[in-house]
Amino acid sequence: MKVSVGLLQTFSFENPDDNLEKTVELIKKASDSGAQIICTQELFKTRYFCQVEDWDYFKFAERIDKNSQTVKLLSEIAKSKNVVIVASLFEKRAEGLYHNTAVVIDADGEYLGRYRKMHIPDDPHFYEKFYFTPGDLGYRVFETKYGRVGTLICWDQWFPEAARITAMKGAQIIFYPTAIGWLPGEKEEFGESQFNAWLSVQKGHAVANGVYIAAVNRVGFEPSPDGNGGIQFWGSSFVANPYGEVIKMASDENEEILITEVDLEQIEEFRKVWPFFRDRRIDSYGEITKRWID
């Protein structure tokens, strides 16, 4: 079965309503260009506010369920365009309890559920632990009209366990809504190495698990809200096949709707040739649940 994947790589405005309006238009354009599963970048409704710790930004969080305003809007678009939508949102679960969350909406407009980001970073200009509680829904896979979709988010990209479990639950495509880039003071010395690490680890997930990987990153420079530097998001959204080959990659500096076709039947062919799941020594992996082995 061949499926067309669409990734929405964009600049972000200061006003969330403007970002929502733009993303809605991009979803429609992607659909009109043949995309069947469409994924937004991480926290697409806002700029990346996690560059600073500021209680004021909790105002951007929203309740998420099938009746919430954003989900209802996306559901209407999914149904009208007959597309699956994966969208990354700032979830308000309760007063004082927030998550970095991805929702999945099927092509008939049905809200299939959410995934809450499991791994939460805390680095200069990526102060997510201030805002987000680690996910508690586990790793999730959603049966959609066009295939079984797994959703992980940004920092989850670096953890092979997350990709492994998501693949073992049946994902054929793992989507990674993302917000990653260079700090201006680091780009010259470390930029190429950082980008190569990001690309390589995700290609490795594709190979090790025999799945398609679709990473969709924001693009452009976003100044820090406190005026202290900022982040140059490197774009380069891409889709990799089970051999770790990048089928298609977006620009590193421009907005882009990246659309490419994936062949889900290739997954079985790959796993026949390289039967990693057959040869796993599950009796030997008990120590993986420890924090460290002394």
Widest Cα–Cα separation across the chain: 56
Q: Catalytic one among 42, 91, 222, 256?
A: 42
The tokens for 217 are 């990153």
Residue 132 near residue 138, CB atoms below 8 Å: no
Clarify whether 117 is annotated catalytic.
yes
Q: Catalytic one among 39, 92, 154, 256?
A: 154
* Cα dihedral 219, 71, 104, 62 sign: positive
Clarify whether 169 is annotated catalytic.
no
Q: Catalytic one among 117, 203, 222, 256?
A: 117
- What is d(CA 176, CA 191) in angstroms, rounded to the nearest whole number? 21
Clarify whether 42 is annotated catalytic.
yes
* Residues catalogued as catalytic: 42, 117, 154
